[in-house]
Structures are given as structure tokens and as C-alpha cells.
Amino acid sequence: MRKDILYKIKLFCLTQLGIIPEGDYCHSKNRDKVCRYWSLRADLPYRENGYCAFLDKSDWEINEELGMLEGWDREGIFVSSMSAHDLQASLLWDQCKEC
């Protein structure tokens, strides 16, 4: 079976079991349940520090795949390694799903 089909089956099952919340966010509609796979990484800059254990990726890795690494670190210093501002940025840090 193809890898993308297995991924979709696993995601569907975890959503149906309530392990991954339904919808566009990493939490339930009333925010009383956060996805067990979501977290923030202290070692990455602000707005690049969302992490999904289900995907095994952080905002940093997703943005790197998209060709964009930029954000504010914890000291308020702007960090940028590329200038591809027309590319979409990952919003895991804000609990927006990437799965």
C-alpha cells in the first residue's frame, strides 16, 4: 500500500477515536482537549516552535521544506535565513493543524 494512503487511514482512525481533534485546529471546539501530539519546543524561535509528534515535524522543519526560515526568538531578535516571503508559513505554534 502507498505511504500516503496509510497516512490518511491512520489520520482518519485517530480522528474517529477522538485522539486527534476534528477540524482545523489541534484542540477541540471548546478548547477543553488539546491533541496529544501537539506541543511547543523551547529550543526554537517564537512562531517557529510548534511541534506535531504525529508528523514528527515542527514549524521550523515545515517552513524549511517550504523554503522559509524566519521568526522572532525569545530575546526579541528577528531570525531569518531566507527571504521567501511569498511562501506559506506553518502555524503549528498557533495550534493550526498541518496533518
DSSP of the chain, one letter per residue?
A: --HHHHHHHHHHHHHHTTSS-SSSBSB-TTSS-B-TTEEE-TTS-BTS-EEETTTTEEHHHHHHHHT--EEE-TTS-EEES---TTSPPP-GGGTB---
Q: What is the pLDDT of residues 29-85, one digit of tens each?
A: 888 889 999 999 998 888 788 999 988 988 888 877 776 656 666 677 776 655 443
> Which cell numbers hold the place of 57?
515535524
Domain range holding 57?
3-94
- Tell me whether residue 33 is in a domain: yes
- So what's the pLDDT on residue 83? 47
Higher pLDDT, 99 or 53: 53
pLDDT of residue 12: 81
Domain for residue 99, yes or no? no
User: What is the structure's pLDDT at 37?
Assistant: 92
The answer to pTM > 0.85 is no
> Into how many domains does the chain fold?
1
Strand partners of residue 34? 27
